[in-house]
Structure 1
Amino acid sequence: MHNDRPAPVLEALGVCSEDEQLYRVLLARPEATATDLVADTGWATVRVNRHLRSLLSLGLASRTPGRPARYTPAVPEAAVELLALRKQEAIVQARLNAAVLTEEFRSKREAGPFTVIRGQQAMAQRFYQAQQTAQSEVLVLDKPPFAVLPIEPRQAYGVTYRTIYDMASLVEPAEIAAARTAGPSCRVLRGVPLMLVVADRRTGLVQTGQELIELGPSSLLDALLRLFELLWQQATSLSPSSSEGPLSFEDQQLLALAAAGLTDQAIARRLGVAQRTVERRIQRILKALDATTRFQAGLRAGQRGLLV
């Protein structure tokens, strides 16, 4: 056979590439015998017979009586429909089995409202599973240090995200820009108390150093949800169109850095802007807060809750 074979298209339905290859040969030569197929494929007789048996079991071919036996390919449209139906049935059964296993796990795990997960790989896998199986909502408190890297959100699947970043999470200008693309669903707050992911308000994951604590529906999870909502009200939006008060998020961040004692040059490096830009923005901040010194501006911003 020619080496430039078409890319397999039936693998997702449980058909291996060699089964599909023989099926394609059979489509081009209906009523073929095993000997014909050996000649067409260049395979050994044992190999051809093995894949013929597979095609028969998959419903992709049928065998006609008589000697020598001849093989007829199933119509592709009907064959694919049958394979897809079997795949759907297998998925339904797998979900039922998963539900049974989940109940067994819940009934046999140690008494208490939580489970402790250890190890980088196990923690990363559980974070991934919780977000990938979320149906409606994911809430995130994001703070360093990170034992598990974040994953791509699932907004495309109708899952809504709300994320509160600790200011220390957004150090580089690129990180700030990436977070701002999420608009009003992302906010920033100084001193986020813990790393948290909550999926559908039923599963909570709290990262504590090198351990991950998983919570199910419980009073403890309810308390964490109330904490998230409280922090959400206190946090500052990263969306420039939704910023409230006289200072934008960028101005609040700049003022916080100045209040921490950083020089204009250090602030410029931190924010990825020119030093002259920092000086100009500081003058605008002083005017907006009716302050004459940076210390006075920081004090007034803090009193108004404008510092991130």
Structure 2
Amino acid sequence: MLEALGLGPMEEAIYTALMAQPTASAHDLARQTGIASAEIICVLADMETRGLVAAATQPDREESGPAGQPTRSAFIRYRLTPPSVALAPFLVERRNALHQAESAFSMLIEQYRSTAVHSAGGVVEVVVGVEEVAHRFHQLQHGARRELLIFLVGAPVAVPREDTDISESFALDRGVDFRVVAAKDYLDGPDVARDVRAALTAGMELRLVDSLPLKMVVSDRERAMVPLDMADTGGEPSAIVVHRSGLLTALVHLFEKEWAQARPLHTATGVRAEPTVDQQPTEGELEVLALLLAGFSDRRVASQLGLSIRTVERRTRRLMDLAKADSRLQLGWHAARAGWL
């Protein structure tokens, strides 16, 4: 824990040991930490110089050092300097170092954009190869601080879906606003429905459309990545990374347009009995409704949700009863009007 403030492993061990007692000598600390007394004496001297510890009492005995000279270092008792006093300068130093690192990071990005070989005026980078594409994809997702906008189409090529799931979890855990528009065929992959449910439960927003023009990830509206046709790069996966520009603005506008027209996908958040008199659909019924409105057949809805066809039909019938609809077209109209989706 204290290594984050610049303390070494032995310093942290000694500091932690001193936290549990008012004072201790090098001999005491050696017994508690398993570190040799000679090493602890040296570390304590350095910690005293840095203001982390202070001598509490003088020794009541002496021991012989080199050439018979008396030394009392091993028997001096030390106490901790209060952490609020001792560690505050370390925290300030680390903050300053982080600020300098962020400044250097920004400068390097601008320098790279202006000198990259595969660039077009610093606006577009071409990334070729499985490892490079996967690396840039994870950079975009892990680097997002506010928002991620995603288009999902078909099966993954350069980034395995399990790696994508890990990046999604990392972003959601940090509170990043995560919005996804998926083409219907994306849900055809094995175990996709299960992973989608987990992501929705964690806070991701997902909407479905019949088709999308491309795959895409947009990070904080500052960078985007779009795959290229593998035929253009000898069969290797490739992509372009787009930086802030009119092109990036157009990609964000495309996402927002598809998002506004897409159908929300809901997921059940827990076991809930289906009421017979309530005038609002259950979460499970909304799951069925979202897929039906996305154009899925009853059989495909059942497969995606792990239900029987009879259950899908029963939930659909109750939805139609609630909406007083004679057809699924009327059901869709009522669902939009009632704000069910």
SS in 2 for 1:116: strand
Q: Deviations over 1:88-139 (max 9, x none)?
A: 1221221122122222212221340212334545444433332343343221
Counterparts of 2:325 and 2:32 in 1: how far apart (Å)?
Answer: 84
The correspondence for 1:104, drawn from 99, 111, 117, is 111
Counterpart residue number, 2:144: 134
Counterparts of 1:137 and 1:280 in 2: how far apart (Å)?
Answer: 38
- 8 Å CA contact 2:124–2:241 kept in 1: the answer is yes
- 8 Å CA contact 2:148–2:176 kept in 1: the answer is yes
- Which 10-residue stretch deviates more, 89-98 or 202-211? 202-211
Q: Deviations over 1:166-199 (max 9, x none)?
A: 2122245434534554789321112222221112
> Following TM superposition, by how much is the alpha carbon of 1:14 offset from its aligned partner in structure 2, in angstroms?
2.4
Counterparts of 1:254 and 1:128 in 2: how far apart (Å)?
Answer: 33
SS in 2 for 1:140: strand
Counterparts of 1:233 and 1:29 in 2: how far apart (Å)?
Answer: 64
The correspondence for 1:83, drawn from 69, 76, 90, is 90
Please give the root-mean-square deviation of Cα atoms over the aligned residues, in Å. Answer: 4.2
SS in 2 for 1:212: strand
Letter in 2 for 1:250: V
Distance 1:174 1:24, change over 3 A: closer
The correspondence for 1:250, drawn from 271, 284, 288, is 288
Q: Deviations over 1:40-71 (max 9, x none)?
A: 75543553355335535654235799964557
Distance 1:25 1:173, change over 3 A: closer
Q: Do structure 1's residue 276 and structure 2's residue 314 form an aligned pair?
A: no
1:109-258 → structure 2 map (5 Å cutoff) = 109-110=116-117, 111-112=119-120, 113-146=123-156, 147-148=158-159, 149-150=164-165, 151-152=168-169, 154=171, 159-171=176-188, 173-178=193-198, 180-181=200-201, 185-208=205-228, 210-239=237-266, 250-251=288-289, 253-254=291-292, 256-258=295-297
Counterparts of 1:57 and 1:181 in 2: how far apart (Å)?
Answer: 52
- 8 Å CA contact 2:154–2:186 kept in 1: the answer is yes
The percent identity for this pair of structures is 30
Counterparts of 2:98 and 2:187 in 1: how far apart (Å)?
Answer: 41
SS in 2 for 1:201: coil
Superposition TM-score, scaled by structure 2 size: 0.64
The correspondence for 1:13, drawn from 5, 29, 33, is 5
Counterparts of 1:272 and 1:76 in 2: how far apart (Å)?
Answer: 58
Letter in 2 for 1:75: T
Counterparts of 1:271 and 1:158 in 2: how far apart (Å)?
Answer: 27
- 8 Å CA contact 2:265–2:290 kept in 1: the answer is no
- 8 Å CA contact 1:19–1:54 kept in 2: the answer is no
1:31-46 → structure 2 map (5 Å cutoff) = 32=25, 43-44=35-36, 46=38
- 8 Å CA contact 1:143–1:165 kept in 2: the answer is yes
Counterparts of 2:32 and 2:311 in 1: how far apart (Å)?
Answer: 73
- Which 10-residue stretch deviates more, 203-212 or 92-101? 203-212
Distance 1:103 1:117, change over 3 A: same
> Following TM superposition, by how much is the alpha carbon of 1:236 offset from its aligned partner in structure 2, in angstroms?
1.0
> Following TM superposition, by how much is the alpha carbon of 1:200 offset from its aligned partner in structure 2, in angstroms?
2.1
Counterpart residue number, 1:5: none
> Following TM superposition, by how much is the alpha carbon of 1:142 offset from its aligned partner in structure 2, in angstroms?
1.7
- Runs of 5+ unmatched residues, structure 2: 59-69, 231-236, 268-279, 333-341
Counterpart residue number, 1:4: none
> Following TM superposition, by how much is the alpha carbon of 1:145 offset from its aligned partner in structure 2, in angstroms?
1.9
Counterparts of 2:34 and 2:248 in 1: how far apart (Å)?
Answer: 63
SS in 1 for 2:244: coil
Counterparts of 2:215 and 2:247 in 1: how far apart (Å)?
Answer: 15
- 8 Å CA contact 1:236–1:249 kept in 2: the answer is no
- 8 Å CA contact 2:264–2:290 kept in 1: the answer is no
Superposition TM-score, scaled by structure 1 size: 0.69
Distance 1:43 1:272, change over 3 A: closer
Counterparts of 2:175 and 2:299 in 1: how far apart (Å)?
Answer: 44
- Runs of 5+ unmatched residues, structure 1: 1-8, 259-263, 292-296, 302-308
SS in 1 for 2:169: coil
Distance 1:182 1:216, change over 3 A: same
Counterparts of 1:216 and 1:99 in 2: how far apart (Å)?
Answer: 13
1:279-298 → structure 2 map (5 Å cutoff) = 279-280=313-314
Distance 1:29 1:183, change over 3 A: closer
